[in-house]
Amino acid sequence: MDSREALGSWIDGPRAAAEKMGADFGYRGERLGLPEEGPGSIAPLGRRVGALFVDGWLCALIAYGLLAGGDAAYANLWSTPLFFVMSVVLVGTVGSTLGKRLFGLRVVRLDGGRVTPVQALGRSLLLCLVVPALVWDRDTRGLHDKALGTVQVRI
């Protein structure tokens, strides 16, 4: 093995190296019984990040304009609690926040049903802690989704 091949396998990660040796991991969501493409398939990472950005931006804008009276430092104190409340209420009732709806995403239970209020509360709390959302499994589900039996899917 030359050094470029070793470096390439290191950059690609363990999954790519295992696939080169013949391992078959299937597509994202196959283990969960979800379709590979289209409605009901696992939401792509780019859409999820985009939805999170939109939701964060909306919360910051609301906090700056309505709650903090234009004081940016005070608005920073309100952004995260406002994001938490928005996430709990919207995910717990309609299954998606404004950003998720804009990007065509929904949060559902693993059996495809609606998220319960308790799941929405726990998921939002773990999402606001940030770290659980940054640790993924091979289906790209964050710990906040795994802990509460939820998954983000395409609408």
- pLDDT tens digit string along 3-21? 555 555 556 666 666 667 7
Residue 45 pLDDT greater than 60, yes or no:
yes
Is the Cβ–Cβ distance between 150 and 119 less than 8 Å?
yes
Predicted pLDDT at 20 = 74
Q: What is the pLDDT of residue 65?
A: 82
Alpha-carbon gap, residue 103 to 110, rounded angstroms: 20
What pLDDT score does 21 carry?
72
Which pLDDT score, from 0 to 100, does residue 40 have?
93
Residue 52 has pLDDT above 90, yes or no: yes
- Quote the tokens at residue 130: 């940030």
Contact 92, 120 (CB under 8 A): yes
Kindly report the average pLDDT of the chain as a whole number: 87
Greater model confidence, 14 or 46: 46
Q: What residues contact 132, with CB distance under 8 A and at least 6 apart?
A: 126, 142, 143, 144, 147
Query: What is the pTM (predicted TM-score) of this model?
Result: 0.80
Note the pLDDT of residue 71.
Answer: 75
Residue 68: what pLDDT? 66
Q: Are 29 and 136 a contacting pair, CB within 8 Å?
A: no
84, amino acid identity:
F
Q: For position 19, what pLDDT does the model report?
A: 65
Q: What is the pLDDT of residue 100?
A: 97
d(CA 77, CA 151) in angstroms, rounded, equals: 29
More confident residue, 123 or 32: 123
Q: Running DSSP on this structure, what letter comes out for residue 152?
A: E
**At 8, phi and psi to the nearest 5?**
-60, -40
Mean pLDDT lowest for which of 3-7, 95-99, 127-131? 3-7
Distance from the Cα of residue 28 to its chain's centroid: 14
Alpha-carbon 24 to chain mean position: 25
State the Cα–Cα distance between residues 141 and 155, nearest whole angstrom.
17
Lowest mean per-residue pLDDT among 1-5, 11-15, 36-40, 129-133: 1-5
